[in-house]
Amino acid sequence: MMGAVAFGARRPRVTASDCPYAWVDMPVLDDESMFEVWTCAQPVEREDAGDLVSARNDDVLFGCLQTKLDCRLDAASHRAYSRIFDFIDRRGYAHLLRVWNYFPQINGDADGLERYARFNVGRHEAFAAKGRVIGTHAPAACALGSRGTHLVIYFLAAKQAGQRVENPRQVSAFHYPAQYGPRSPTFARAMLMQTAGKPLLFVSGTASIVGHETLHIGNAPAQARETVANILAVMKQAQLAGLDSSRSRSDLLLKTYLRHPDDLAVVRNCLMQAFGPAANVLYLQADICRSDLLLEVEAVCLNASSPTH
């Protein structure tokens, strides 16, 4: 076991943990809590470096960082990402492939700038300071609004670079115009990596955005359909890059974030129609990175190193 991440409105009782572990203060819809567990077939070496805990095998490193937000969010994200880059560089896993970011009040104001925009400033500057080229080295990622007082980041890094996948229906996030903040979001639409000789695809948090604009404001069913169209477009691009298109839908894990719990039924119906009942879907209540977005969906196309809900 490489790591475990718990989701729920209450911290689960974990009496003993011999692997990297984090709790995201985020309600699970239709359940009290849920664990996302990352496993691999190889032996792992674990390390506790204070607020950053990790486990690694010969190819991949899984890490969790939890830090109390005791400063402005741009400073906190810069500090967190700088710490992550220093950590993975020193251990030889320099390629950041997938990152999950959770912090409270993502749509709130912070000295005249939305908190998500503040987060993007710090993240962008950390990438630049640590020698990462924004477009070339951008990982798959998501950023959601949680509860509590902490910034929680968990991530996968590897010795070998992955293959960035973009969506032809969307402007790459790192090329967004300045109306979305002084620094663009630093992530790729998806990341394709090889593990145990097989492809594994991480689809970033995906929403009802075409070009760079939000579509279907206030309409959850339409936003769900547009989100599905974007996920399918990314998966098609990944197939062109080498992903096996014959995979079963049971090999697809979806994590769906809803701003309003009342939208659960219509969004669930849309995802079931698109991906079938075999797809494994976790539904969470969260604030989305844009205040006009009602939902966001991320995906993992499974392989040898994979999460289970």
Query: What is the CATH classification number for the domain harbouring 91?
Result: 3.30.1330.40
Lowest mean pLDDT among 5-14, 46-55, 201-210, 238-247: 238-247
Parent domain of 46: 3-308
Task: Give me the pLDDT at residue 196, please.
Answer: 72
What number is the average pLDDT over the span 6-26?
86
How many domains does the chain divide into?
1
The answer on pLDDT for 108 being more than 60 is yes
Cα-trace Rg, the chain: 18
- How do residues 110-151 score in pLDDT, each as one tens digit? 999 999 999 999 999 999 999 999 989 999 999 999 999 999
Task: Give me the pLDDT at residue 90, please.
Answer: 98
Task: Give me the pLDDT at residue 249, please.
Answer: 61
- How do residues 67-107 score in pLDDT, each as one tens digit? 999 999 999 999 999 999 999 999 999 999 999 999 999 99
What lies within 8 Å, CB to CB, of 28 at 6+ separation is 7, 8, 9, 34, 282, 283, 284, 285
Name the band, by pLDDT with cuts 50, 70 and 90, for residue 31.
confident
Task: Give me the pLDDT at residue 195, please.
Answer: 78
Task: Report DSSP state, residue 192.
Answer: E
- How do residues 179-195 score in pLDDT, each as one tens digit? 999 999 999 999 999 87
Task: Give me the pLDDT at residue 307, please.
Answer: 52
What number is the average pLDDT over the span 20-40?
93
Question: What's phi and psi for 174, nearest 5 deg?
Answer: -75, 0
What number is the average pLDDT over the span 204-208?
98
DSSP H helices, 130-250, are: 220-240
Task: Give me the pLDDT at residue 21, please.
Answer: 92
Which two three-digit tokens encode residue 15? 């009496």
- How do residues 211-257 score in pLDDT, each as one tens digit? 999 999 999 999 999 999 999 999 999 987 666 655 556 689 999 99
DSSP H helices, 92-219, are: 115-129
Q: How many CB atoms lie within 10 A of CB 25?
A: 18
Name the band, by pLDDT with cuts 50, 70 and 90, for residue 109.
very high
- How do residues 158-182 score in pLDDT, each as one tens digit? 999 999 999 999 999 999 999 999 9
Its pTM stands at: 0.95
Task: Give me the pLDDT at residue 198, please.
Answer: 78
| Mean pLDDT comparison of 45-54, 197-206, 256-265, 297-306, highest-scoring range | 256-265
The answer on pLDDT for 304 being more than 50 is no
Known catalytic residues?
296
What lies within 8 Å, CB to CB, of 94 at 6+ separation is 88, 157, 159
